[in-house]
Amino acid sequence: KQEVTQIPAALSVPEGENLVLNCSFTDSAIYNLQWFRQDPGKGLTSLLLIQSSQREQTSGRLNASLDKSSGRSTLYIAASQPGDSATYLCAVLYNQGGKLIFGQGTELSVKP
């Protein structure tokens, strides 16, 4: 069964800290992996997409890595800010067709 797991479920850090969110998936034959941000009552914003042939992607203070052999991805957030507070979702695509398998998310709170 294809499953995606995210730990921790919730994380609270002081402003300025660097932090790592973890995502693991059971089937390594992925098409791509995406990290999303979800703010309360709102939709999902795509942060980073890592293709199956890539090992990492960077955008500003965000860096996502992918290790297919171990079934893991990490999202690294540098110099966290209160505006980063949101739920971060990891989602895996196993084939063409848009059927993303989502993790349960990590709820991040960055305290000023």
Partner 1 sequence: NAGVMQNPRHLVRRRGQEARLRCSPMKGHSHVYWYRQLPEEGLKFMVYLQKENIIDESGMPKERFSAEFPKEGPSILRIQQVVRGDSAAYFCASSRSTRSTNEKLFFGSGTQLSVL
The residue range among 17-25, 59-67, 73-81, 103-111 that interacts with partner 1, by the rule CB under 8 A, is 103-111
Name the residue nearer to partner 1 (CB basis): 97 or 112.
97
One DSSP character per residue, the chain reads: ---EEEE-SEEEEETT--EEEEEEES----SEEEEEEE-TTS-EEEEEEEETT-SEEEETTEEEEEETTTTEEEEEE-S--GGG-EEEEEEEE-SSS--EEE---EEEEEE-
Name the residue nearer to partner 1 (CB basis): 43 or 60.
43
- Looking at the chain, how many residues does it have? 112
Closest CA to 59 of 34, 83, 38: 34
24 interacts with partner 1 by CB under 8 A = no
The residue range among 21-29, 66-74, 78-86, 98-106 that interacts with partner 1, by the rule CB under 8 A, is 98-106
Name the residue nearer to partner 1 (CB basis): 61 or 99.
99
User: By rule CB under 8 A, what string of x and - marks binding of each residue 33-72 to partner 1?
Assistant: -x-x----xxxxxx--x-xxx-------------------
Binding site for partner 1 (CB under 8 A): 31-32, 34, 36, 41-46, 49, 51-53, 89, 91, 96-105
